[in-house]
Amino acid sequence: MELFVILLLTLLAGSAMPAGAFLAAKESIRPNWLRRELRHGVIAFGGGALLSAVALVLVPDGLEGVSTTTALICFLAGALVFMLIDILLNYLRTSASQLIAMLADFIPESIAMGAAFAHGSSNALLLALLIGMQNLPEGFNAFRELKETTPYRSATIIRTFALMVLTGPLAGLIGFLWLADLIPVVSGIMLFAAGGILYSVFQDIAPQARLENHWAPPLGAVLGFALGMLGHQLTG
């Protein structure tokens, strides 16, 4: 039963990626200024959801399983690795930077969720909620990036996103079956992911959320974090 639940949770959280892509494909909002504000608001919402995952789950839970020195090393290593990925993607001039960043968040978080569920932690459900919240806008933005910079059809991109959903249950199984008893390892993964996410928020997401002479989009970040707080209170 527990195995079924973790597979279902990771599958639902991952399904937010193609769902976000589908919404981006169907986006048809007038007037144009409102469409622009929506896009930037969605980006900001994803940033807020990512920050809530870092602040409410990944860092607090990660700190419980390792020493302060190890925690700092893992956290900083995550930021450095994500920075190197960013540099590499820029060097290769790939159009899939948002897509790779989305998977880089999703896989370690799914591992952590599987391990947390094995320990009966209420934060496993919260983490599933936060992953879904951040995957929806990330799927939205990754779709737009690929659509604007590649010749791929919308249906092809959405099908690709749907296939990537399967990485979540696989990562969740790894955390549930093999890493549940290795608390320092899981804590290190959480802190590594937190460092990488924090780097991504300020390198990619926050700069894109700003829109000249418009003040509403940043409220998306507040809403994303507020929903994370609500989930934290409800599951806690």
Domain ranges of the chain: 2-24+36-235
The most confident of the ranges 27-31, 120-124, 144-148, 168-172 is 168-172
| DSSP per position, the chain | -HHHHHHHHHHHHHHHHHHHHHHHHH---SSHHHHHHHHHHHHHHHHHHHHHHIIIIIHHHHHHHS-HHHHHHHHHHHHHHHHHHHHHHHHHT-S-HHHHHHHHHHHHHHHHHHHHHHTT-THHHHHHHHHHHHHHHHHHHHHHHHHHHS---HHHHHHHHHHHTTHHHHHHHHHHHTSTT-HHHHHHHHHHHHHHHHHHIIIIIHHHH-BTTB-STTHHHHHHHHHHHHHHHHH-
Q: What is the pLDDT of residues 101-118, one digit of tens each?
A: 778 778 888 888 888 777
Checking if the pLDDT of 148 tops 70, the result is: yes
Q: What percent of the chain has pLDDT over 70?
A: 83
Q: What is the pLDDT of residues 213-235, one digit of tens each?
A: 565 666 767 777 887 778 767 77
- At 131, the pLDDT band (50, 70, 90 cuts) reads confident
CA 192/CA 76 separation, integer angstroms: 7
Chain position carrying tokens 């099908």: 159
Q: What is the pLDDT of residues 150-177, one digit of tens each?
A: 788 888 889 989 998 999 999 989 988 8
Sequence-ordered list of residues with C-beta below 8 angstroms from that of 10, at least 6 positions apart, any chain? 110, 113, 114, 128, 168, 169, 171, 172
Predicted TM-score (pTM) of the model is 0.80
CA 166/CA 229 separation, integer angstroms: 28
CA 30/CA 189 separation, integer angstroms: 43
CA 160/CA 166 separation, integer angstroms: 11
